[in-house]
């Protein structure tokens, strides 16, 4: 039984929302970032990178304090406003290929601890502690945890009706995405939504494992402060059939001392190999793997597809690791080995071909996307996916909704 709560959100004023909101900070190239910071005084990137104007080199603690000050400046300059009463939001992102619609709400750390909110990814402790310190120093978060819930006909019907009303915001971005936000402030509607989520069963973290873990660590650090807001973290709740799961493809710098011929012979022990030559080929089903090597594409099909005892063992990313990356290419640490890098499946496989043709990498592997059912089964069995197994849309706009701690 999941609990969601409304909260007194902070958000941009209607006239500035398209100027304020931004993509995640690390998605910008240096040139894009400089352009935004030089020519858009309202961009939330100024809050995230407050030392830019003075080209300051600040330590982490000082930088976090500068973020907090810049955020206060935005509020004092009436770029942001704060809701007078706790609210939910309905948020929709319309891209060229898909529309994503979900509910922005607070979710509870109690549900997180009790595994009502389930996880499927491991976290890096230094990243969890770093973001905990960021939250502690800045006092706000604008990156919700993306959480899926089992499809619910009543909630789906409510969303359809809610979208017929005038939205609070409607704006487009330079990436040709359309964004709309509806405020839910009616007490009866809020209570109804809360009741609905008590019946949906478990919630599943799709993206944001580090953010939720940091919220829990912050609570443990500051729980004696009496601050009720620490009991919750902001989430974007979306029906599980409405998320888009992409694979993370792998590129490797060398063949671990093997010749091309020897490498193919070693692969043939566990895979049927078909040379696709110049065809831009990628997997079409589970247990298939694409490979680009020496100017040619290959289809690798796993021979023994039934010798598994758990959902983790039969996960394509795990198969590639246990059958190829570790035993043949000598890559044991998928997070930290500098010989491996990752390319999201949203990018064309031409990108893989180009980086390998340039010579910095020698071989690339393309995977078939993980199914939501596999993610849920892993979470239900307390199993952890290999690093960089999924790239999940939608992505939330920074600065659109702020949860103050």
User: What confidence category does residue 309 fall into, taking pLDDT thresholds of 50, 70 and 90?
Assistant: confident
What pLDDT score does 52 carry? Answer: 57
CA 131 → CA 61, 122, 159, 310, 364, distances in Å?
Answer: 12, 16, 33, 33, 32
Hey, which residues does 365 pair with through a beta bridge?
A: 250, 291
Q: At what angle do helices 187-197 and 153-162 cross, to 10 degrees?
A: 150
Write down the mean pLDDT value for the chain. Answer: 95
Hey, which residues does 340 pair with through a beta bridge?
A: 252
Distance of CA 324 to the CA centre of its chain: 27
Residue 285 token pair: 């089903």
**What DSSP element (H or E) covers 34?**
helix 30-39
Q: Is the pLDDT of residue 53 over 80?
A: no
* Rg for the chain, CA atoms, rounded: 23
Q: Is the pLDDT of residue 341 over 80?
A: yes
Question: Each residue of 183-225: pLDDT tens digit?
Answer: 999 999 999 999 999 999 999 999 999 999 999 999 999 999 9
Question: Each residue of 357-393: pLDDT tens digit?
Answer: 999 999 999 999 999 999 999 999 999 999 899 999 9
Question: Each residue of 107-151: pLDDT tens digit?
Answer: 999 999 999 999 999 888 999 999 999 999 999 999 999 999 999
Question: What is the C-alpha to C-alpha distance for residues 46 and 13, in angstroms, rounded to an integer?
Answer: 17
Q: What is the mean pLDDT of residues 230-245?
A: 97
Q: What is the mean pLDDT of residues 150-165?
A: 97
Give this prediction's pTM. 0.93
For residue 396, is it left (φ>0), alpha (ψ between -120 and 50) or beta? beta
> Which of the pair, 54 or 325, is modelled with greater confidence?
325
Q: Is the pLDDT of residue 57 over 80?
A: no
What pLDDT score does 20 carry? Answer: 97
What pLDDT score does 60 carry? Answer: 85
DSSP 50: T
Question: Each residue of 72-87: pLDDT tens digit?
Answer: 999 999 999 999 999 9
Burial class of residue 17 (count of CB atoms within 10 Å of its CB; 0-12, 13-18, 19+): buried
């Amino acid at each position: 039984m999941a609990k969601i709560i409304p909260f007194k959100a902070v958000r941009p004023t209607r006239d500035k929302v398209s100027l304020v909101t931004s993509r995640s900070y690390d998605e910008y190239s240096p040139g894009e970032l400089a352009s935004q910071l030089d020519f858009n005084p309202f961009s939330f990137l100024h809050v995230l990178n407050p030392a830019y104007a003075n080209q300051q080199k600040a330590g982490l603690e000082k930088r976090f304090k500068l973020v907090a000050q810049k955020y206060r400046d935005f509020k004092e300059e009436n770029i942001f406003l704060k809701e007078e009463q706790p609210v939910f939001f309905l948020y929709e992102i319309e891209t060229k290929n898909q529309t994503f619609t979900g509910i922005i709400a607070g979710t509870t750390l109690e549900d997180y601890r009790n595994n009502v909110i389930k996880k499927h990814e491991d976290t890096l402790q230094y990243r969890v502690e770093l973001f905990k310190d960021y939250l502690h120093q800045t006092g706000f978060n604008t990156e919700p945890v993306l959480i899926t819930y089992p499809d619910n006909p009543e909630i789906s019907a409510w969303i359809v009706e809610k979208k017929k009303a005038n939205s609070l915001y409607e704006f487009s971005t330079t990436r040709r995405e359309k964004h709309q936000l509806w405020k839910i402030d009616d007490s009866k509607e809020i209570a109804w939504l809360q009741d609905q989520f008590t019946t949906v069963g478990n919630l599943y973290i799709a993206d944001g494992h580090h953010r939720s873990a940091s919220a829990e660590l912050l609570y443990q650090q500051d729980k004696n402060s009496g601050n009720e807001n620490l009991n919750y973290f902001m989430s974007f709740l979306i029906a599980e059939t409405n998320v888009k799961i992409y694979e993370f493809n792998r590129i490797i710098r060398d063949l671990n001392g093997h010749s091309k011929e020897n490498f193919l012979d070693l692969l043939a022990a566990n895979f049927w190999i078909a040379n696709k030559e110049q065809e831009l080929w990628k997997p079409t089903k589970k247990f298939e793997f694409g490979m680009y090597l020496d100017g040619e594409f290959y289809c690798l099909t796993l021979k023994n597809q039934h010798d598994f005892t758990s959902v983790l063992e039969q996960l394509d990313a795990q198969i590639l690791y246990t059958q190829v990356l570790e035993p043949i290419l000598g890559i044991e640490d998928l997070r930290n080995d500098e010989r491996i890098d990752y390319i999201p499946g949203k990018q064309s496989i031409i990108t893989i071909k180009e980086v390998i043709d340039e010579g910095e990498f020698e071989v690339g592997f393309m995977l078939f996307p993980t199914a939501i059912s596999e993610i849920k089964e892993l979470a239900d069995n307390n199993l952890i996916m290999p690093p960089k197994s999924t790239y999940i849309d939608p992505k939330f706009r920074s600065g659109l909704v702020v949860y103050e701690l």
